[in-house]
Amino acid sequence: MLGVVMTSSTAPAAPYDPWFLGTPLPLPGTPDGVETATLPFTHFTVVLAPERRLAIVTAANLDGASLVEIDRGDDWHLDPRVPVEAQTGPEVYARNDLDRGHLTRRRDPVWGERAVAEQANVDTFSYVNAAPQAALFNQGELLWSGLEDYVLEHARTYAQRLTVLTAPVFGDDDPPYRGTRIPRRFWKIAAWNDGDPTDPVLAATGYVLDQSAQLDAIDLSDPPGATTAAPTLGAYLTYQVPVVDIATLTGLDLAPLVAADRLPVPTTATPADLRRGAPGLETRWTRLTRASDVRL
């Protein structure tokens, strides 16, 4: 295990805070045998899985009462704290229709004093905080990126604070492409304090996004110098799912979040029960077509 990787020149002023909600929510434990590198940034932390060249989990603190409007910018950069070959860098996104999709959403950690917010904005453009996503800005993607806003607006979030964890689901059937593998599915968990400072009550909801529609019919071969469009992954499908299913899919230790889940937990599922196209999955998971479909 690489462990925490941080140098004095890159140390953030305030990385992910497990006590941000007034009750402990540590970074999830990772599966045995999976090498990781923990990379602190401003108001969020990325746990990188170098073998997959992608994050296995990102965790961000969002203070909705202190958000700062910052020009987006587009300065994507490699992280000097880990080897280049451990990151999914610019070569994966060149000459195709793949987007560098933020994992921790750009605006989530952009809060606090302006200088801190500006650094958080820059930090989100690290390649370790990105994953290949279809360049298809449709309603499904808008719904996925807006889940935090809906929870902030409609849940009883003390002091408008959220903790958001998100990453790809590493699937055995993720297609290879330019030295990495394109995730078919992503997961996200929003957590908040449903109580007050003296009596915190952790609450959480879990979600899965599936971008694999039409992928099986696409030729992902990529001859050297090819300029043809690479995978158009089809429409995004977004589901609210039991947090325990995310733990099963990822192998992460999400025990506090499983216990705090607002979605009634059905019978225990195995990884086979949660594979794409598995019988009963559409009834176990709730398909979201609009933010108001979310159960809080």
Domain map (residue ranges) of the chain? 3-293
* pLDDT tens-digit readout, 167-183: 999 999 898 999 999 99
pLDDT band at 74 (very low <50, low <70, confident <90, very high): confident
| Per-residue pLDDT at 6 | 62
Give the whole-angstrom CA distance, residue 130 versus residue 41.
14
pLDDT band at 232 (very low <50, low <70, confident <90, very high): very low
* pLDDT tens-digit readout, 83-119: 999 999 999 988 877 889 899 999 999 999 999 999 9
* pLDDT tens-digit readout, 3-32: 777 654 556 669 999 999 999 999 999 999
Residues belonging to the active site: 102
Residues placed in the known binding site for Mg(2+): 138
Q: Give the number of other CB atoms < 10 A from CB of residue 225.
A: 6
Whether the predicted pLDDT of 279 surpasses 60 = yes
| Per-residue pLDDT at 231 | 40
- Fold of the 3-293 domain: Extracellular Endonuclease; Chain A (3.40.570)
Neighbouring C-alpha atoms within 13 Å toward the C-beta of 15: 17
- Residue % of the chain over a pLDDT of 70: 85
Residues placed in the known binding site: 138
